[in-house]
Structure 1
């Protein structure tokens, strides 16, 4: 069963600079179902949705041919600017492997007005051993 997401629209994967620098984009449409309740009369795209944008972009661009990486942790988030309906959110992701073999994704999310958020995620790669434990 696929995981539930608060996003109605798709996260678009962009061509990668290289394996350790990937990118994605999300356009906040007026039809996003989270907008009417998040400050009625003055809709702002919720921060949790920015984390989800980073997660979906990260899951789709994980390095090293990793398929369907498992989100192990949201290590940090920092929201630095509002995101409104109609904004295009650009997601630049930097990847590095941790000493334990997981992958850390450092995402910077921006709009046309500048920085919106930074998000650090950790992904556990699925190996035959981790799959057998499931």
Structure 2
């Protein structure tokens, strides 16, 4: 038996789910990116930019809703991540998520935007845990 470890994140900001699909999956979320985020300390100290991997992390945390989303919630792959604009301290990251069921789980396509426009598009694949679909 494999133990499931709690999720770890470099981002302290909370994810606020604002809308769900008919299946209860997160469809829209917001993340307030504060200047006090620890990742800003080493990511261009004189011109802080929220790292792209942290944007992907926010999408994943929104998609799994802190492990409260319907199964499956086991991340199988980051299929793609395309970054279109920077995220700065004080920005609000607005996430839009859409879902597609597959034979092995779910695929989540998401866009992340700030008040300046699109910041990223991300595609995540989740596998069914313990045979659940």
TM-score for both structures, normalised by structure 1: 0.85
Please provide the CA RMSD for this pair: 2.1
Give the secondary structure class of the aligned counterpart of 1:119.
strand
Q: Within the alignment, does 1:116 sit opposite 2:133 as a pair?
A: no
Report if aligned partners of 1:77, 1:120 keep a CA contact under 8 Å in 2: yes
Which residue in the other structure is 2:78 paired with? 74
Runs of 4+ in 1 over 4 A off after TM superposition: none
| Structure 1 unmatched runs, 5+ | none
Q: CA deviation at 1:24?
A: 1.0
TM-score for both structures, normalised by structure 2: 0.86
Which residue in the other structure is 1:107 paired with? 110
- Matched residue count: 126
Give the secondary structure class of the aligned counterpart of 1:34.
helix
| Structure 2 unmatched runs, 5+ | none
Q: 2:90 aligns with which of 71, 74, 86?
A: 86
Report if aligned partners of 1:93, 1:106 keep a CA contact under 8 Å in 2: yes
Q: Deviations over 1:8-40 (max 9, x none)?
A: 111111122544771111110011000011011
Q: Within the alignment, does 1:25 sit opposite 2:30 as a pair?
A: yes
